[in-house]
């Protein structure tokens, strides 16, 4: 199956460019084509790719080729640097409210991994930060969503607040805060139902919860396998809710994960955590640099450059 | 509905927006198809073929390229038959078994609920089996669907062996004289070797109990997924001989164009599309409407210019 990374794609091109001195226009043109295809195959949005390639071209043409590199490698180096820059720095911190409880809202499309990640975050907060979290079952729509969260809570031995499926999610969220205060729980994680970014009514429900709770974090949960549509989803959720961060799930799969780049480019919000499995301890800090290499599939090229 | 208008009428619209067949035209076409998640290779090949053919036939006006575009696009999908729909392989003489497989969260359980509803409406006796014994709340979720539709769900407790649950399901379906048994399985990423082996085992149990079963193995794909869907289709096919695809979440803004590449490279047809979370939100796949939907944006964008 054709799923080459940039490394494979560039082998030929790089070999051809053996001259030294400055990177010339022709070199960059050939390389840009390959970079573009590699990014598209990795599911980076085509508009993001366009801007990115343009930037690379501008920066690369005329740069001095470092002593130890070929012009091809020099361009790769620039690509990697720009990509890492775009991915942002490492930021896995979770906000702390001045007055407890700290409120975290989980939002995203259907099946992205919100409920599982809510459990993972609660687990992390307790284990690593010694906090007392409360999970809130505000998904009254998906069949057995409450049972799912309750099962997760039971597995972790972390309390779950629910009011059944007849209650209104906005009321559930509000009452959960009161409950947390009463019980001296210092984090409240609100698991909301999956919804489409174009569903006005359900998006309105989130806006209402946000207005009432004034959350310290709103995490957009995104499936790492998402394709070109990632920009629409991220842009739309961010515009309507002003999210504070992104969590990328299912990175234990073999997707290149170009959605990460698309999301960064359109929202400029930090990607804070990566879901690395179905188990409740499989949540990791997100590493922007590793992600950059993964998207390009260019581990080999990087080793080449590092060795040079 | 919005996807129902005839393909050729829409294609008329499209080419009417462009007068000349030039670089811009092909660039737009390429972008539109890529943004619909049609595989990168498929798009590049397609556009190159069109360009070549346009040159060979000396086609200058977009209008005259219309036939060619529609031919090429739908051809990938249906080998020239514009209306081909691939139905379920139901066994008319006795019990039919349909196995649902796919990665996490794509919509397997929901699609089972929707299909069960349709089949029941057609007068068939349907049974569900809760083969996802792993994910929190999965058994309860299928249970809610069973109640909604009024069909029985065969289940064991969480954590039990999925192959054993399937065995139970088959025995129950036999003794109740069911027409169709719909089998849910846990979501699994295709690169998890152990989980994929578990799935083959589940399938082997079904094969052993009923010759010719499973009659369909439906791979559920989320339309929001990008190029990885092709890898999913390939790996799940190797493990379970996938006979069809259910493409879910087409009610969003994603186009699910990757199924074109899947059809082209692996020859697996889409049988159903999911258009929402309710039990009535499942439709038979219509290749014409789908292919048009891929570049609907190209038409509207041009209209706005
Ligand atoms: N492999 C893997 N699976 C994951 C990960 N995160 C979540 N999942 C699985 O993805 C599926 C969907 O997860 P949920 O937590 O139910 O997703 P959700 O966003 O709450 O779904 P809805 O509430 O229906 O919108 C489940 O099968 C989870 O086990 C991850 O990081 N890796
Ligand atoms: N908008 C929309 N949502 C859907 C569609 N099909 C399923 N969903 C939603 O997607 C989410 C996941 O669906 P499930 O049926 O639980 O998916 P699954 O593949 O069984 O998930 P796992 O068993 O965890 O792997 C739920 O919130 C469903 O309501 C669809 O066609 N459109
Ligand atoms: Mg959920
Ligand atoms: Mg399921």
Per-residue pLDDT at A10: 66
Q: Which ligand is nearest to the CA of B273?
A: 2
Per-residue pLDDT at B9: 59
| Cβ–Cβ contact B106 with A under 8 A | yes
**Bigger pLDDT: B254 vs B5:** B254
Q: Which ligand is nearest to the CA of B103?
A: 2
**Given phi > 0 = left and psi -120 to 50 = alpha, else beta, which region is B127?**
beta
- pLDDT of A161 higher than 90: yes
Binary contact (B143, A144; C-beta < 8 A): yes
Q: Tell me: the pLDDT tens digits for A64-114?
A: 777 777 777 778 888 888 998 899 888 889 999 999 999 999 999 999 999
Cβ neighbours of residue A293 closer than 8 Å, sequence gap 6 or more: A80, A299, A302
**CA A233 – ligand 1 centroid, Å:** 17
- pLDDT of A308 higher than 70: no
- Mean pLDDT calculated for residue range B126-155: 98
- Mean pLDDT calculated for residue range B172-194: 97
Q: Provide Rg for chain A, Cα atoms.
A: 22
Q: Tell me: the pLDDT tens digits for B52-82?
A: 988 898 888 877 777 777 777 777 766 655 5
Q: Is A13 helix (H, G, I), strand (E, B) or coil?
A: helix
Residue B3 pLDDT grade (very low, low, confident, very high; cuts 50, 70, 90)? very low
Contact map slice: A 54-93 vs B, CB within 8 A = none
Whether the bond between B214 and the residue before it is cis, its omega within 30 degrees of 0, is: yes
Place of tokens 């949540």: A283
- What does pLDDT average to over chain A? 90
Contact map slice: A 161-180 vs B, CB within 8 A = none
- Mean pLDDT calculated for residue range A261-280: 97
- Provide, as residue numbers in chain A, all residues whose Cβ is less than 8 Å from the Cβ of B103: 225, 250, 253
Per-residue pLDDT at A297: 80
Per-residue pLDDT at B13: 65
Per-residue pLDDT at B1: 32
Sign of the dihedral through C-alpha A186, A218, A43, B229 = positive
Least-confidence region, from B3-7, B25-29, B115-119, B147-151: B3-7
The C-alpha of B29 sits at a distance from chain A's nearest C-alpha, in angstroms, of 13
Binary contact (B228, A111; C-beta < 8 A): no
- pLDDT of B275 higher than 60: yes
Contact A138, A192 (CB under 8 A): yes
Decide: B232 in ligand 2 pocket, CB within 6 A: no
Q: Is B103 helix (H, G, I), strand (E, B) or coil?
A: coil
Q: Tell me: the pLDDT tens digits for A41-62?
A: 999 999 999 999 999 988 888 7
Q: Tell me: the pLDDT tens digits for B192-250?
A: 999 999 999 999 999 999 999 999 999 999 999 999 999 999 999 999 999 999 999 99
Structure tokens at B32: 């539109």
**CA A192 – ligand 1 centroid, Å:** 13
Per-residue pLDDT at B304: 41
- pLDDT of A3 higher than 60: no
- pLDDT of A15 higher than 70: no
The C-alpha of B91 sits at a distance from chain A's nearest C-alpha, in angstroms, of 30
Per-residue pLDDT at B108: 98
Decide: A185 in ligand 1 pocket, CB within 6 A: no
| Cβ–Cβ contact B41 with A under 8 A | yes
Cβ neighbours of residue A251 closer than 8 Å, sequence gap 6 or more: A224, A257, A274, A275, A276
Per-residue pLDDT at B180: 98
Q: What are phi and psi of A190, to 5 degrees?
A: -95, 115
Contact map slice: A 100-159 vs B, CB within 8 A = 109-113, 115-116, 141-145, 147-152, 155
Decide: B227 in ligand 2 pocket, CB within 6 A: no
- Mean pLDDT calculated for residue range B113-140: 98
Residue having the nearest C-alpha atom to atom 7 of ligand 2: B107
- Mean pLDDT calculated for residue range B116-130: 98
Instruction: Label the pairing between strands B270-274 and B216-222.
Output: unpaired
- pLDDT of B173 higher than 70: yes
| Cβ–Cβ contact B193 with A under 8 A | no
Decide: B269 in ligand 2 pocket, CB within 6 A: no
Cβ neighbours of residue B62 closer than 8 Å, sequence gap 6 or more: B15, B16, B17, B18, B19, B20, B21, B25
Strand segments, DSSP code E, in chain B are 96-101, 126-131, 152-154, 180-185, 216-222, 244-248, 270-274, 282-284
Q: Tell me: the pLDDT tens digits for A203-226?
A: 999 999 999 999 999 999 999 999
Binary contact (A226, B226; C-beta < 8 A): yes
- pLDDT of B5 higher than 50: no
Per-residue pLDDT at B226: 97
- Mean pLDDT calculated for residue range B106-111: 98
- What does pLDDT average to over chain B? 88
The C-alpha of A262 sits at a distance from chain B's nearest C-alpha, in angstroms, of 12
Rounded to whole angstroms, the Cα distance separating B138 from B109 reads 8
Residue A8 pLDDT grade (very low, low, confident, very high; cuts 50, 70, 90)? low
Residue A298 pLDDT grade (very low, low, confident, very high; cuts 50, 70, 90)? low
Per-residue pLDDT at A27: 76
Structure tokens at A172: 């559930």
- pLDDT of B146 higher than 70: yes
Closest residue in B to A156 (Cα–Cα): B136
Closest residue in A to B229 (Cα–Cα): A225
Cβ neighbours of residue B36 closer than 8 Å, sequence gap 6 or more: A228, B255, B256, B257, B294, B295
Residue A5 pLDDT grade (very low, low, confident, very high; cuts 50, 70, 90)? low
Q: Provide Rg for chain B, Cα atoms.
A: 21
Per-residue pLDDT at B2: 37
Per-residue pLDDT at A89: 84
């Amino acid at each position: 199956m054709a799923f080459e990374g940039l490394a494979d794609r560039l082998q030929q091109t790089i070999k051809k460019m053996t001259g030294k001195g400055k990177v010339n226009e022709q070199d960059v043109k050939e390389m840009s084509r390959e970079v573009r295809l590699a990014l598209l195959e990795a599911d980076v949005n085509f508009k993001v790719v366009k801007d990115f390639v343009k930037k690379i071209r501008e920066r690369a043409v005329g740069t001095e080729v470092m002593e130890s590199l070929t012009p091809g490698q020099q361009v790769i180096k620039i690509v990697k640097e720009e990509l890492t820059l775009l991915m942002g720095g490492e930021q896995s911190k979770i906000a702390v409210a001045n007055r407890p409880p700290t409120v975290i809202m989980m939002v995203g499309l259907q099946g992205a991994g919100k409920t599982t990640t809510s459990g993972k975050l609660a687990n992390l907060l307790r284990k690593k930060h010694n906090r007392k979290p409360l999970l809130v079952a505000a998904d009254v729509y998906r069949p057995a969503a409450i049972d799912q969260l309750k099962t997760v809570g039971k597995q972790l031995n972390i309390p779950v607040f629910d009011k059944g499926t007849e209650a209104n999610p906005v009321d559930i969220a509000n009452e959960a805060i009161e409950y947390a205060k009463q019980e001296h729980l210092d984090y409240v994680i609100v698991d909301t139902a999956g919804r489409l970014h174009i569903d006005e009514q359900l998006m309105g429900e989130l806006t209402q919860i946000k207005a009432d709770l004034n959350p310290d974090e709103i995490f957009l949960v995104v499936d790492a396998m998402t394709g070109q549509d990632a920009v629409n989803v991220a842009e739309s959720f961010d515009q309507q809710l002003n999210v504070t961060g992104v969590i990328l799930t299912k990175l234990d799969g073999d997707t290149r994960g170009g959605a990460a780049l698309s999301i960064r480019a359109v929202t400029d919000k930090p990607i804070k955590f990566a879901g690395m499995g179905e188990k409740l301890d499989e949540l990791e800090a997100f590493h922007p640099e590793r992600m950059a290499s993964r998207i390009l599939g260019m581990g080999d090229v990087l080793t080449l450059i590092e060795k040079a | 509905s919005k996807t129902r208008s005839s393909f050729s009428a829409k294609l008329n619209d499209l080419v009417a927006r462009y007068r000349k067949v030039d670089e811009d035209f092909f660039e737009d076409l390429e972008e539109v198809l890529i943004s619909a998640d049609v595989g990168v290779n498929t798009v590049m090949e397609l556009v190159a073929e069109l360009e070549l053919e346009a040159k060979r036939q000396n086609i200058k006006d977009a209008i005259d390229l219309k036939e060619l575009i529609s031919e090429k696009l739908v051809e990938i999908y249906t080998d020239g038959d514009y209306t081909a729909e691939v139905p379920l392989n139901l066994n008319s003489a006795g019990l039919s078994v349909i196995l649902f497989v796919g990665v996490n969260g794509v919509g397997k359980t929901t699609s089972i609920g929707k299909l069960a509803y349709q089949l029941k409406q057609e007068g068939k006796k349907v049974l569900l089996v809760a083969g996802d014994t792993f994910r929190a709340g999965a058994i309860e979720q299928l249970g809610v669907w069973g109640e909604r539709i009024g069909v029985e769900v065969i289940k064991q407790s969480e954590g039990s062996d999925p192959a054993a649950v399937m065995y139970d399901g088959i025995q129950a379906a036999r003794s109740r004289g069911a027409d169709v048994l719909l089998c849910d399985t846990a979501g699994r990423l295709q690169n998890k070797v152990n989980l994929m082996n578990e799935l083959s085992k589940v399938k082997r149990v079904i094969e052993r109990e009923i010759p010719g079963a499973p009659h369909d193995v439906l791979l559920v794909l989320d339309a929001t997924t990008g190029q990885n869907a092709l890898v999913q289709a390939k790996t799940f096919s190797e493990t379970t001989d996938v006979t069809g695809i259910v493409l879910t979440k087409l009610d969003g803004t994603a186009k699910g164009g990757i199924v074109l590449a899947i059809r082209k490279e692996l020859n697996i047809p889409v049988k159903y599309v999911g258009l929402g979370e309710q039990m009535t939100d499942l439709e038979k796949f219509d290749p014409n409407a789908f292919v048009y939907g891929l570049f609907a944006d190209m038409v509207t964008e041009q209209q706005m210019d």
